[in-house]
Structure 1
Amino acid sequence: MSDSDAVVHDDAHHRYVLERDGQQIGQVVYELGDGVIRVLHTEVDESLQERGLGSKLARAVLDDIRANSDRQLVPICPFFRAYLARHPEDRDLMSR
């Protein structure tokens, strides 16, 4: 991520938005259920893929869930499932 990148939680629309210079370049979409947060979809602008931005977005989302929620994480999104497979330190969020 560059210095101008920021992850913003858009709670009203159930998503986390990755912004660069005020422009959306990625997002994670989720839905809430009884005690769970289901991560449905992750995307990064096609022209910026393969630069680690999806992983940095996932990291920010997981950190926010850990700090601000007691919901159980349910990763529906294939990217998020793969990310969690590579980062076992975050799997505890799936067994809350």
Structure 2
Amino acid sequence: MVNIEREDNNKKGRWVIYEDGKEAGEMTFTWAGDNKFIIDHTGVNENYNGKGFGIKLVMAAIDYARKNNLKIIPLCPYAKKVMDKDSSTNDVRF
């Protein structure tokens, strides 16, 4: 079973993806004001490569931004690449 959880201390945080209760990867972010956040790193542990977990993390951030009327600044090269390829993410891009 795969699940994603968000941790946030109002300055920075991360989305963590778990498979069968084990941490498989994370995507970190930093708040940039009240209505936008910067994705600064996405990483998936080697054992979990090729499962699409990186994209799942980026999509979790996009879903969160949409639900909370927020914008994303994708400084992480991976998140930027995912968002560049999918024009449907433009609504949340800053």
**What stretches of structure 1 move > 6 A for 4+ residues in a row?**
none
- How many residues in Structure 1 have an aligned counterpart in Structure 2? 91
What is the match of residue 10 of structure 1? Answer: 7
What is the match of residue 46 of structure 1? Answer: 46
Contact 2:30-2:37 at 8 Å conserved across structures: yes
What is the match of residue 59 of structure 1? Answer: 59
TM-score under structure 2 normalisation? Answer: 0.87
Point out where structure 2 has 5 or more consecutive residues left out of the alignment: none
Counting only pairs closer than 5 Å after superposition, residues 70-89 of structure 1 correspond to structure 2 as: 70-89=69-88
Equivalents in 1 of 2:70, 2:63: separation in Å? 13
Contact 2:7-2:13 at 8 Å conserved across structures: yes
SS of structure 2 residue aligned to 1:54: helix
- Amino acid aligned to 1:49: N
Point out where structure 1 has 5 or more consecutive residues left out of the alignment: none
SS of structure 2 residue aligned to 1:39: strand
RMSD of aligned alpha carbons = 1.4
Q: Which has the higher helix share?
A: 1
* Deviations 1:21-53 (CA, angstroms, capped at 9, x unpaired): 221111110000213200000000112212211
